[in-house]
Chain A
Amino acid sequence: MTSLVARQIGIPGRLQPADLDVQAGELVALVGPNGGGKTSLLRVLARIENASGVVAIDGEDLDLAPLSRRRRLLSFLPASRDVIWPIAPRDVIALGLDGPNPARVDELIGLLELGSLADRPVNRLSTGERARVLLARALVGNPKILLLDEPLSNLDPYWVLRILSILEIAAHSGQSVLVALHDLGQLPRFGRALLIADGQVQMDEAPASLMASERFEQVFRIQATQGGWEVRRQADPQSSP
């Protein structure tokens, strides 16, 4: 079932108009070099700026959805982990809900192992701890679409793996999850990958075939080696064939 339908979405000068369909339950990775347009795409999908095009979730036009409805349709996690005010993580998570639901908040506190931090001011936590709190806020309302900008950065290896499995479970339960990420090592765990560079979606395929492609190496300016990646050597006409 198609969950997210985007038509002709774009931001002048940063993201060329594009169409995108995402099925319910899909786990989609957005990869690409810095400044290529991953964040712009997520922001357009979340209707954060006055962008062109139409985004519909389960047939509902996002621009027309009232405030209370939006929370059920999507949540957006920005790459920034900044919270200025000394709000307790428990309350930060609750901001993702329409009304009070302490049981659900406790569920997320348990899921992201925030128990010992739940009542400390969020702006005093470490970046990685704050990342978990903010992700919990994005997850708590159980929206149909999760738009997550680099949810895996600033995390230790345990938490990278834990959050990947949390996202897999979310997708399994029918949520569509779009994740911008830089760690190519995690790409195979996604069902679908978009390569975004120069303000447009360059490729849209399964991660394995994406990573095996020439275009992928070209865009990232890296190349595969045994068990890893290295900086791609410039094509040099002088070198032997």
Chain B
Amino acid sequence: MRLLLIFLLLVAAVGHLLLPFGPLREAQAVDPELADLILIQLRLPRTLLALGYGATLGISGAALQAMFANPLASPDISGASSGAALGAVIGGYWLGLTQPLLLAACGAAGALGILTLLIALAGRRADTTTLLLAGLALALAAGAATSLALALAPSPFAFYDAYDWLMGNFADRSLAQAAAALVPASVASILLLRRAHALDLTALGEDVAASLGIKPRRLGLEVIALSAIAVGACVSVAGAIGFVGLVAPVFGRSISRGHPGSAMVPAALIGAILLAAADLVVRSVPLDRPIPVGVVTALFGTPLFVWLVVTMRRRVTA
């Protein structure tokens, strides 16, 4: 199963990089250097962002679900993505920051702020209802604050400008921007992966984990901080993308035989494949205006989400 995922990942990566093939071939015919330019300067950052952001969402989603002991926790439903968007909007349109890495820091700070509020509101092992309601409230509040920050921003084009970015967009990002998102995200993701076994043990309950020498409180704070950094950095460059962080861990756990921490690796692979595929859909749809990739993940993700809620309800009532 893992081999199949790695194969699919390669297909997604190569496909994302080379498709549509037409322009590349034409450029190659005119000037081989032009083709290289398209490949390296235009397509490579986009491919790296799509794969890296997807993997980040898979890992941080799985880590948050393990920590909250809840399959509905995720970067989007916890409000972390909305918080990151708010942070990046304030950094970009109010503080006038342009350095991608500084914007990534703003995104991480926003995500961290929302996740801290969520813990304060709902607690670390909140039941599903509390978690969903608290996360929803925070996501809505952060969304409203983002709209307000854009409406009142010094630049009159802020709203129009941000639309392209907020809903998720990988187009026209530079390699420097991709690096600003993916370097912090990779470091945080690797640190999260090192906590896989500890998160697996929390499946037996916090008391058992603690009796084995794990500090659940500290582990929880680490997961929060690392997820915030990973997701915040990606959101600041490519916008808030929903559902991948929710759905990838669910499939990840079916590969890790239910283990919540070990689900991070397969969830990363699945997240990367899903987001690369979603962005390929964006690129292939023949519209005058490109649609945000977040719209595509939401369109495909909503039915999966509904299915998840229904199966959970069935399990509870059974």
Name A residues whose Cβ lies closer than 8 Å to a Cβ of B.
43, 46-49, 65-67, 70-71, 74-78, 80, 82-88, 91-92, 95, 121, 123-124, 134, 137, 147
Q: Is B211 an interface residue (CB 8 A)?
A: yes
CB <8 Å contact, A76 and B207: yes
Q: Is B4 an interface residue (CB 8 A)?
A: no
- List the 6 closest A-B pairs by CB distance, nearest first: A76-B211, A87-B258, A46-B211, A48-B210, A67-B213, A86-B258
Residue in B69, B258, B315 with the greatest tally of chain A CB atoms within 10 Å = B258
8 pairs from A and B in contact (CB 8 Å cutoff): A66-B213, A74-B211, A78-B205, A84-B69, A88-B257, A121-B258, A137-B204, A147-B211
CB <8 Å contact, A85 and B203: yes
Smallest CB gap from A76: residue in B: B211
CB <8 Å contact, A87 and B205: no
CB <8 Å contact, B210 and A65: no
**Set of chain A residues within 8 Å of B205, measured between Cβ atoms:** 78, 80, 82-83
**Set of chain A residues within 8 Å of B203, measured between Cβ atoms:** 83-85, 87, 92, 95
CB <8 Å contact, B258 and A47: no
Known: A67-B212, A70-B212. A91 touches B258 (CB 8 A): yes
Residue in B71, B204, B210, B213 with the greatest tally of chain A CB atoms within 10 Å = B204
CB <8 Å contact, A95 and B201: yes
Smallest CB gap from B70: residue in A: A84
Give the Cβ gap from A51 to chain B, nearest Cβ, in Å. Answer: 11
Q: Report Cα–Cα, A24/B210, bound state, in Å.
A: 24
**Set of chain B residues within 8 Å of A83, measured between Cβ atoms:** 203-205
Binary flags per residue of B196-238, CB closer than 8 Å to A gives 1, else 0: 0000110111011011111000000000000000000000000
Q: Is B253 an interface residue (CB 8 A)?
A: yes
Known: A71-B212, A95-B200, A95-B201. A43 touches B259 (CB 8 A): no
Q: Is B271 an interface residue (CB 8 A)?
A: no
Q: Is B260 an interface residue (CB 8 A)?
A: yes
Q: Report Cα–Cα, A83/B315, bound state, in Å.
A: 13
Give the Cβ gap from B205 to chain A, nearest Cβ, in Å. Answer: 6
Q: Report Cα–Cα, A82/B69, bound state, in Å.
A: 11
Name B residues whose Cβ lies closer than 8 Å to a Cβ of A.
69-71, 200-201, 203-205, 207-208, 210-214, 253, 257-260, 315
CB <8 Å contact, B211 and A91: no
Known: A84-B70, A84-B203, A95-B201. A49 touches B258 (CB 8 A): no
CB <8 Å contact, A85 and B213: no
CB <8 Å contact, B213 and A70: yes
Give the contacting residue for B211; candidates A47, A85, A121; CB below 8 A.
A47
Give the contacting residue for B207; candidates A65, A67, A78, A86; CB below 8 A.
A78
CB <8 Å contact, A88 and B211: no
**Set of chain A residues within 8 Å of B204, measured between Cβ atoms:** 83, 92, 95, 134, 137
**Set of chain A residues within 8 Å of B70, measured between Cβ atoms:** 84
**Set of chain B residues within 8 Å of A86, measured between Cβ atoms:** 253, 258
Give the Cβ gap from B164 to chain A, nearest Cβ, in Å. Answer: 39
Q: Report Cα–Cα, A83/B207, bound state, in Å.
A: 12
Give the Cβ gap from A32 to chain B, nearest Cβ, in Å. Answer: 19
Give the Cβ gap from A168 to chain B, nearest Cβ, in Å. Answer: 23
